[in-house]
């Protein structure tokens, strides 16, 4: 009987949250491996924070009028505590840094995470309510080289996977002095236009007028396009920092464009901000992004901690890999399928299967002792094994087994004595 298709079944996972299994899961694991390795090559160490945090971890940091805090958090009330399922990684990371005093360790510290995030958004292609992010965070380093390193690392991750259809857009949000001057200029510019702006932008005007530049509303576009740009309001320090970041990116061979409308949706960024945008993803085109967030720690009542980081979405990365036909090739099944034909053969293969697994040679043996050749070969195909090892009564008597290459059908006899060594050789070629 064919298994029922997912949508015909009454019990379903929550909208916007998906199961991963089969070939898709295999492809995810292969991609995850490359991303983990790239982080480790750059000297980043993994950190895992809990899925639940006190709500303040996000409400105090991400920005009161951001979509995340206003409408997207999954919250839980439990014995007088308001908790939230993690909607993003950086605020929780900084909470952990402060709790464990990781910023007191000498010199720059590099961390990365790979965690599920939860946001109550309208699901569509590339946008889910549970999604996975890899994030890189570099703390205790205020240099432009640190910003350039973070952008180079994200670029390297995509390149290592063979992606090329994306654009690196960078901007500077200035230091606090530049921002104060720019904010004033934006207020003066937008105030007479308020009547024409979307409701969201009107709300942003009071608290964070710079965020209006991030608006996707049609009504705001003409005002946004003509708005003053931050360039004229930058202090010498902010200007020099941005120039050095660009120079280091050139040196690293990272192509980028400067986009003054990259302001990021979250409150805690300053100086460098960036986004990697794909032209293969439709509406949800942001592959990953980040920036400098030295001031985030202050929102927890601490002194500023120099920090820069990014987050990349796994679902969108997988969509982009598929669109560019760069999905990694993953073996569909184990190295070997053991096909005993009859009880005597099964008794030989049962201990062999244990030994092969001890030697790291992947194999599958079904505990059915009376199946014929046709049935066994069908199973070998089903499980996607590269080879099948066949053993019938005749072979047992001869002291051999037949090794069949499942992709080209070629087969040869191999002796049952020293069979593990011989299979190891086949495995390594
Ligand atoms: P953000 O934390 O909003 O800057 O997002 C960083 C990255 O996470 C984005 O560039 C996307 O790749 C991914 N991302 C954000 N929100 C979602 C979502 N709802 N579903 C899938 N991926 C997302």
Distance 133 CA to ligand 1 centre (A): 7
Name the percent of the chain lying above pLDDT 90: 85
pLDDT 10s digits, 347-393: 999 999 999 999 999 999 999 999 999 999 999 999 999 999 999 99
pLDDT-based confidence at residue 1 (cuts at 50, 70, 90) = very low
Across the chain, mean pLDDT equals: 94
The structural architecture, per CATH, of the domain 336-428 is 3-Layer(aba) Sandwich (3.40)
* Cα 87 to Cα 129: distance, rounded to the nearest angstrom: 9
Q: Is the CB of 287 under 6 A from ligand 1?
A: yes
Beta-bridged to residue 52, according to DSSP, are 85
Q: Is the CB of 273 under 6 A from ligand 1?
A: no
pLDDT 10s digits, 56-96: 999 998 887 788 888 899 999 999 999 999 999 999 999 99
Mean pLDDT of 249-267: 90
Tokens of 133: 């992010």
User: Probe ligand 1: pick from 286, 296, 308, max atoms within 8 Å of CB?
Assistant: 286
Mean pLDDT of 49-55: 97
Q: Is the CB of 248 under 6 A from ligand 1?
A: no
Q: Is the CB of 316 under 6 A from ligand 1?
A: yes
State which ligand 1 atom lies nearest to the alpha carbon of 127: 20
Q: Is the CB of 133 under 6 A from ligand 1?
A: yes
pLDDT 10s digits, 121-132: 999 999 999 999
Q: Is the CB of 313 under 6 A from ligand 1?
A: yes
CATH class of the domain whose range is 22-175+235-323: alpha beta
Distance 29 CA to ligand 1 centre (A): 19
pLDDT at 200: 86
Q: Is the CB of 121 under 6 A from ligand 1?
A: yes
User: Probe ligand 1: pick from 91, 93, 132, 133, max atoms within 8 Å of CB?
Assistant: 133
Name the percent of the chain lying above pLDDT 70: 98
pLDDT at 121: 94
Residue closest via CA to ligand 1's atom 20 equals 127
Distance 311 CA to ligand 1 centre (A): 8
Asked if residue 267 has pLDDT above 70, the reply is: no
Residue closest via CA to ligand 1's atom 13 equals 313
Same fold, 22-175+235-323 and 336-428: no
Residue 90 and residue 135 in contact, taking contact as beta carbons nearer than 8 Å? yes
Mean pLDDT of 182-187: 93
Residue 334 and residue 362 in contact, taking contact as beta carbons nearer than 8 Å? yes
So where are the chain's domains?
A: 22-175+235-323, 336-428
State which ligand 1 atom lies nearest to the alpha carbon of 316: 12
CA dihedral 140, 141, 147, 150 (to 10 degrees): -50
Map residue 370 onto helix, strand or coil: coil
Q: Is the CB of 289 under 6 A from ligand 1?
A: yes
pLDDT at 269: 84
Asked if residue 4 has pLDDT above 90, the reply is: no
């Amino acid at each position: 009987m064919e298994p029922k298709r997912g949508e015909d079944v009454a019990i379903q996972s929550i909208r916007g949250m998906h199961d991963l299994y089969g070939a898709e899961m295999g492809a995810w694991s292969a991609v995850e491996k490359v991303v983990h390795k790239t982080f480790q090559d750059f000297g980043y160490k993994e950190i895992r924070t809990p899925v639940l945090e006190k709500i303040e971890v996000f409400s105090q940091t991400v920005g009161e009028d951001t979509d995340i805090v206003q409408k997207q958090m999954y919250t839980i009330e439990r014995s007088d505590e308001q908790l939230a399922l993690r909607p993003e990684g950086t605020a929780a990371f900084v909470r952990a840094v402060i709790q464990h005093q990781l910023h007191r360790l000498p010199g720059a510290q590099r961390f990365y995470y790979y965690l599920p995030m939860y946001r109550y958004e309208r699901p569509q292609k590339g946008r889910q309510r549970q999604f996975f992010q890899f994030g890189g965070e570099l703390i205790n380093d205020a240099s432009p080289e640190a910003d350039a390193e973070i952008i180079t690392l994200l670029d390297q991750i995509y390149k290592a996977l063979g992606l090329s259809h994306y654009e690196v857009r960078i901007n500077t949000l200035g230091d606090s002095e530049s921002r104060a001057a720019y904010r004033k200029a934006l207020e003066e510019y937008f105030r007479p236009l308020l009547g024409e702006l979307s409701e969201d932008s009107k709300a942003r005007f009071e608290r964070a007028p710079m965020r209006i530049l991030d608006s996707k509303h049609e009504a705001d576009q003409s005002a946004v396009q003509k708005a003053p740009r931050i360039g004229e309001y930058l202090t010498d320090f902010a200007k020099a920092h941005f120039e050095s970041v660009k120079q280091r990116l050139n040196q690293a061979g990272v192509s980028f464009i400067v986009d003054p409308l990259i302001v990021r949706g979250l409150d805690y960024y300053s100086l460098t901000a960036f986004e990697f945008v794909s032209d293969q993803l439709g509406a949800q085109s942001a592959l990953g992004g980040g920036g400098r967030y030295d001031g985030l720690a202050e929102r927890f009542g601490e002194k500023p901690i120099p920090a820069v980081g990014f987050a990349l979405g796994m679902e969108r990365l997988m969509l982009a890999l598929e669109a560019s036909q760069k999905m990694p090739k993953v073996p569909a099944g184990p190295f070997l399928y053991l096909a005993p034909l009859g009880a005597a053969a099964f008794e030989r293969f049962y201990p062999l299967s244990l030994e092969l697994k001890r030697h790291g040679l992947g194999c599958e043996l079904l505990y059915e002792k009376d199946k014929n050749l046709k049935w066994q070969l069908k199973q070998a195909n089903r499980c996607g094994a590269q080879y099948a090892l066949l053993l019938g009564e005749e072979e047992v008597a001869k002291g051999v087994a037949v090794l069949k290459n499942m992709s080209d059908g070629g087969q040869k006899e191999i002796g049952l004595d020293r069979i593990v060594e011989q299979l190891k050789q086949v495995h390594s070629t």
